[in-house]
Structure 1
Amino acid sequence: MQLELPMFQKINLTKAKDVVVEQIEDLIVTGTLQPNQRLPSERNLAEMMKISRPTLREALTELEASGLLVADEAGGKKVANLVVSDFSPALLTLLATKESALRDYYSFRMELDSVIARQAAQNATDVDHARIRDALSELERLERHRSNLEQETAADTHFHMVLVEATHNVMTIQVMRSVYKLLENGIFVSRSIYLDSDKKSKVLSQHQSIAQSILAGDSDAAEQAARAHMSYVLDEVNNGLVERHRSNIAARRTQQFK
């Protein structure tokens, strides 16, 4: 007598197209593929993934329909700009000029950067280690040579974003990308305050300590180094704000007695 076993269902083999879609989705959500990054040509991508071009074309069409990919100017595909910052230029200016907002920003950074450094020390790969070394080397190069504030800000921001990506934490990466302009703006403000070479050297030394701890895989030391760095920056910003306040008062007095 043959038993009927309804719990056994027909097995549907996964379509190659679905595997391609899932792989590209994973690359986007983990930050491996970044907003506005171009994909390889259809021919090259099909060869890399060992699939037919019609299958790849079907997958790319689905990803484009879902809003994850968009057509680029050259006729290929690129990752859509999925991360939108809510920080308008006017708001960024306001945050850079209001003392209470600046202090809140650096206090926020102190907590966040500590977590980022710890996660990076725990999760960074060999590729991440190489990127961290490269980013640190650029900071060291700018320290040795006379550089302008914009160059220093760009290199400093890049260094911190490399650490963010080394966490391999999807939420950390996406959140930090969404506030990238805020990060860049904050670094510009702090670097405009500590302009003398002694303070710049201290900041470089702090960056080196953070990087070395992450490269060594020492999460406790990395967290402590990041916290010490942001504590120093916060102190310097506070000192700079006090000096700016005094200068403003002096200027008003001068105007008053003219």
Structure 2
Amino acid sequence: MTAPAPITRALTPVGRLFGLGIAVVRNTFRPPFQLAEFIEQTWFVTKVSALPTALFTIPFGATIALLLAELTRQFGAQSQTGAGSVLAIVQQAAPIVTALLISGAGGSAVCADLGARTIREEIAAMEVLGISPIQRLVVPRVLAMATTAVVLNGLASVVGVAGGYYFNVIVQGGTPGAYIASFSAVAQVSDILVSEFKAFLFGFTAGVVAAYRGLNPPPGPKGVGDAVNQSVVISFVLVFLINLVLTGLYLELVPPKGS
């Protein structure tokens, strides 16, 4: 029994996207590795994403701190504000903000670059010459986005925590000692590790999606523009779905500190 045609058409791109991700992992360990291209792409993605990530994280951290401070005040648990806000920023806000900025700034550029090469038939020419476009072009770009996401996630965590501390302690008049003590009482190394793992996976996913849409754009320059828009939207959806799964697994498998 074969699947209906609409279902087949919908699942075919999913299978190809997954296949590209497998090909990227496989070609990562196949020499020669394009180190110069990787460094160049890492610098480019960092350059276009670092400042927006830092600036975008400040209102995230402030919003979380303000809301949690108000909620804890209503329930008489002001001493736990630091724990809630910092964990929310490190585990959720920082990797999500990083992924959105990496997808929007870096992923769109990667998709546009590969899409332009595709419609100019540079990709086809490379294949005729026996050069793997995945190994030569895709792998360095995907790894650059994943690596940059890990670094920017650390930056976003620091900026978000500092912003939350400022708004809770300075603006709302909270107690600095209680803010820090409540965080240190419940935080653990695994919180940072899962945050960095999320950032790496989000960056890798955004890179694969951008590369896939760039290698398979609709015809013409307008098609490349449409592919860029699609890559950003698809990356956003996948990031939130992956975050939901990882958060659920982490809460189930990693016991809270002190339990």
How high is the TM-score relative to the length of structure 2?
0.33
Q: Which has more helix, going by share of residues?
A: 2
Greater gyration radius: 1
